[in-house]
């Protein structure tokens, strides 16, 4: 079922959790709400479920206006971060709870309820554990019981709040893969909340990046990762180096470079921030567009080597990652001179586009990064 | 035999040789000296013995001092029987009322956000902080012959003060906090996730309470009810003010004990007192039995 969200807003006292958001979720989609804590992602999820009353806006499930529907009427499958399993019920009773709570007229017979419960437990690979109590299960198993319980009501949409947040790294990875498979098999429209960019990138079809109650960017995983729409999105999806650059008439120059790294791309001339991830730097030889630096520190991290480099032009310290050298490649030692060029990068300006007659004192309104140095 | 290679003064070497020794020696928080341990246990036992066990023993010895026959005849004395009946009636009304009120109050406080919540929590504690005598006087002021509602009540033939209704009202007032106080921290710790989960699964409010909330709080609730019951049967101060001490009519067991004692009928007084003490034992025994009987379930709930 597709979900349409129009202008929903929510305030908690003086704090605005959601600033009139619009969002369209396609039927059968696996969507991630990604953001730091306090970004409003869980509030949005709970608002869709009807667990959080909203102050304004509309929520549509297909063509049905669900804004005024109660939680029960919305029929959403909600999986809580800490599972929220009924501790005093067996696994089977947990899973069949939704069926047993139906009005008598719509309730299947007890044999049928049991059959469906066992079927769901097989689906989440917990067959044979129906008689256990939640405390007798591992974290990953509990999460799967919670999922089976949510699926039992044949929900219009499946909502997962930080579904793997309380699990350890190994289990989390396995469960992610498994959930992806389950989604492919069952085809439920699924929205999940996470603050883990890796989880969002690995699991979702599309990602909604949220910040302070607003949507920063909506896009496929590739779009969001390769062309982050705002500095915030770039910052949240990896820890970028922010290099000072300048847009001139013939292209974009890095500070200290004598040739442009890219055509002007329609940017107005002036200073610009060049965002590049550590892994996006290339070590180059003679290249006029590259910048000079000195290796301060090297650190092996698995297949990669992380170099801490101090740039010659402005003494800025950047971190880059390069593949671990094979025997023919140069081994970098601290003190070595190095030339770098970002292969992929994004350009941002703190200031929004301004008319040409901008006055100088306005610039004080913008908190420019300390590292910014104007000119060449 | 050779001397150790590491000199005593070389602390670095000593630490390297016995890496855990300094940790154990300096961490007194983990390993109490034996003396302290026995002293604490001994002190606790002594205190319990002098202040709890000894008086209890005294009650039963005094009760049986004039023989078993006298003990039982004191029990079946019409006044004593009447006081037992009144006490049981009072508890039978006050405890269910306060169970319902307590659950409702705890539910409201822990599951909803509303204005004046702090005031409500304070009000719940009021009966604990106010002297029971004042609690009794309050009802005299309201329902007494010169009270606010007294004339209206007597016009309609209702006798509240110096009668069973007054006693019950005073008891309800005094025992109000027990259930709520027991449940509020428990329900706060449990949060609302399970209730919300039940709602998303289609359960209505009442089903959610019956199938999810109540099973989660049942042990706390039972404990609160038992404490409430113990106090309802044992309350003296507030009940004493509103009872009027009419023998065979408005005396509860604690009041009966006092009257008998003041009449120098020590054996009879202690006989009734022993019955009260027995009720307390039954209460505690019941609690232990239920905990033992449902131990695994209890552990499952608490272990989560």
pLDDT digits (tens, 9 = 90+) for B30-59: 667 888 889 999 999 999 999 888 988 888
What pLDDT sits at residue A369?
34
Residues β-bridged to residue A341: A282
- Which of B193, B222, B217, B195 is CA-nearest to residue B207? B195
The Cα A312–Cα A254 span in angstroms is: 12
What pLDDT sits at residue B287?
77
Burial A114-128 (b: 16+ CB within 10 A, else e): bebbbebbebbebee
Least-confidence region, from A70-79, A173-182, A363-372, B165-174: A363-372
Distance from CA of B92 to the nearest CA of A (A): 29
Chain A environment of B213 (Cβ under 8 Å): none
Residue B263: C-alpha distances to residues A154, B17, B268 (Å): 74, 78, 10
Q: Residue B283 class from Cβ within 10 Å (0-12 exposed, 13-18 middle, 19+ buried)?
A: middle
Sheet containing strand A15-25, strands side by side: A15-25, A3-12, A56-61, A64-65
Of the partner residues B198, B204, B304, the one whose CB lies closest to the CB of residue A134: B304
- Which of B219, B231, B279 is CA-nearest to residue B91? B231
Q: Is the pLDDT of residue B24 over 70?
A: no
Confidence of residue B294 (pLDDT cuts 50, 70, 90): low
User: What is chain B's percent helix, strand, coil content, to nearest 5?
Assistant: 75, 0, 25
Q: What is the DSSP string of B76-114?
A: SSHHHHHHHHHHHHHHHHHHHHHHHHHHHHHHHHHH---
* C-beta atoms of B203 and A51 within 8 A: no
Nearest-Cα residue of chain A relative to residue B213:
A86
Q: Which helix (H) or strand (E) holds A275?
A: strand A270-276
* C-beta atoms of B196 and A71 within 8 A: yes
Q: Are B215 and B48 in contact (CB under 8 A)?
A: no
* C-beta atoms of B201 and A152 within 8 A: yes
Q: Which two tokens stand for residue A102?
A: 């139906």
Of the partner residues A75, A87, A101, the one whose CB lies closest to the CB of residue B301: A87
Higher pLDDT, B1 or B289: B289
Give the pLDDT mean for B16-24.
Answer: 48
Q: What angle do CA A140, A142, A144 make, to 5 degrees?
A: 75
Q: Is A150 at the interface with chain B, CB within 8 A? A: yes
Q: Are B255 and B246 in contact (CB under 8 A)?
A: no
Q: Are A319 and A362 in contact (CB under 8 A)?
A: no
Q: How far apart are the first and last CA of chain A?
A: 55
Confidence of residue B6 (pLDDT cuts 50, 70, 90): very low
Chain A environment of B301 (Cβ under 8 Å): 87-88
What pLDDT sits at residue B29?
62
Confidence of residue B150 (pLDDT cuts 50, 70, 90): confident
Q: How many CA atoms are closer than 13 Å to the CA of B142, on its beta-carbon side? A: 12
Annotation: CATH topology of B67-302: MetI-like fold (1.10.3720)
Q: Are A91 and A131 in contact (CB under 8 A)?
A: yes
Give B179's contacts (C-beta < 8 A, 6+ positions apart): B98, B99, B101, B102, B103, B106, B221, B224, B225, B228
Q: What is the CA radius of gyration of chain B?
A: 27
Least-confidence region, from A3-12, B37-46, B88-97, B276-285: B276-285
* C-beta atoms of A87 and B216 within 8 A: yes
Q: Are A163 and A172 in contact (CB under 8 A)?
A: no
Confidence of residue B28 (pLDDT cuts 50, 70, 90): low
Show me where the domains of chain B are located: 7-55, 67-302
Least-confidence region, from A259-268, B182-191, B217-226: A259-268
Give the pLDDT mean for B70-92.
Answer: 90
Distance from CA of B136 to the nearest CA of A (A): 42
* Tens digits of residue pLDDT in B209-256: 999 999 988 888 888 898 899 899 989 999 998 888 888 888 899 999
Q: Are B212 and A84 in contact (CB under 8 A)?
A: no
What pLDDT sits at residue A360?
34
Q: Is B214 at the interface with chain A, CB within 8 A? A: no
């Amino acid at each position: 079922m597709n979900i349409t969200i129009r202008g929903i807003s929510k305030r908690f006292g003086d704090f605005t959790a959601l600033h009139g958001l619009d969002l369209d979720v396609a039927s059968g989609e696996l969507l991630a709400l990604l953001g730091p804590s306090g970004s409003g992602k869980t509030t949005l999820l709970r608002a869709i479920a009807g667990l959080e009353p909203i102050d304004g806006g509309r929520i549509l499930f297909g063509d049905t206006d669900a804004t005024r529907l109660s939680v029960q009427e919305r029929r959403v499958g909600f999986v809580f971060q800490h599972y929220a399993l009924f501790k005093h019920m067996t696994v089977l009773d947990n899973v069949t709870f939704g069926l047993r709570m139906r009005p008598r007229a719509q309730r299947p017979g007890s044999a049928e309820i049991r059959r469906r419960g066992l079927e769901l437990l097989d689906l989440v690979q917990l067959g044979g554990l129906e008689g256990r109590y939640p405390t007798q299960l591992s974290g990953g198993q509990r999460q799967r019981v919670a999922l089976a319980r949510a699926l039992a009501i044949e929900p219009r949409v499946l909502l997962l709040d930080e579904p793997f947040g309380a699990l350890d790294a190994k289990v989390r990875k396995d469960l992610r893969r498994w959930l992806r498979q389950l989604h492919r098999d069952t085809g439920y429209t699924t929205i999940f909340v996470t603050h883990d960019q890796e989880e969002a990138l690995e699991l979702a079809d599309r990602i909604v990046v949220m910040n302070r109650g607003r949507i920063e960017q909506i896009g496929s995983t590739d779009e969001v990762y390769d062309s982050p729409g705002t500095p915030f999105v770039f910052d949240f999806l990896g820890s970028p180096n922010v290099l000072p650059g300048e847009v001139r008439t013939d292209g974009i120059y890095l500070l200290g470079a004598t040739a442009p790294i890219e055509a002007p791309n329609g940017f107005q001339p002036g200073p610009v921030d060049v965002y590049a991830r550590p892994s996006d730097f290339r070590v180059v030889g003679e290249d006029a567009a590259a910048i000079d630096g000195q290796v301060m520190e090297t650190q092996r991290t698995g297949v990669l080597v992380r170099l801490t480099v101090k740039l010659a032009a402005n003494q800025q310290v950047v971190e880059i990652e390069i593949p671990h050298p094979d025997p023919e490649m140069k081994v970098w030692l601290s003190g070595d001179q190095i030339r770098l060029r970002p292969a992929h990068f994004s350009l941002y300006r703190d200031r929004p586009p301004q008319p040409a007659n901008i006055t100088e004192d306005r610039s004080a309104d913008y908190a420019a990064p300390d590292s910014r140095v104007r000119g060449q | 035999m050779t001397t150790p290679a590491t000199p005593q003064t070389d602390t670095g070497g000593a630490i390297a040789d016995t890496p855990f020794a300094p940790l154990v020696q300096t961490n007194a928080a983990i390993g109490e000296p034996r003396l302290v341990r026995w002293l604490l246990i001994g002190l606790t036992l002594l205190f319990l013995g002098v202040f709890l066990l000894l008086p209890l023993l005294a009650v039963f010895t005094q009760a049986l001092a004039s023989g078993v026959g006298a003990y039982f005849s004191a029990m079946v004395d019409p006044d004593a029987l009447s006081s037992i009946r009144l006490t049981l009636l009072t508890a039978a009304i006050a405890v269910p009322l306060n169970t319902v009120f307590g659950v409702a109050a705890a539910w409201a406080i822990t599951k909803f956000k509303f204005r004046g919540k702090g005031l409500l929590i304070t009000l719940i504690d009021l009966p604990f902080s106010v002297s029971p005598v004042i609690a009794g006087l309050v009802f005299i002021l309201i329902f007494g012959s010169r009270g606010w509602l007294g004339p209206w009540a007597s016009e309609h033939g209702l006798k509240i003060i110096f009668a069973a209704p007054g006693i019950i009202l005073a008891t309800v007032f005094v025992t109000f906090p027990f259930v709520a106080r027991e449940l509020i921290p428990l329900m706060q710790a449990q949060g609302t996730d399970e209730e919300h989960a039940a709602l998303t699964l289609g359960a209505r409010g009442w089903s959610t309470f019956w199938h999810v909330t109540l099973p989660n709080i049942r042990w706390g609730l039972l404990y609160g009810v038992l404490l409430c019951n113990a106090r309802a049967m044992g309350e003296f101060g507030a009940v004493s003010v509103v009872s009027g001490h009419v023998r065979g009519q408005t005396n509860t067991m604690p009041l009966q004990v006092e009257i008998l004692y003041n009449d120098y009928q020590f054996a009879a007084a202690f006989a009734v007192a022993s019955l009260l003490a027995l009720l307390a034992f039954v209460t505690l025994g019941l609690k232990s039995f239920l905990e033992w009987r449902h131990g695994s379930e209890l552990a499952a709930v608490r272990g989560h």
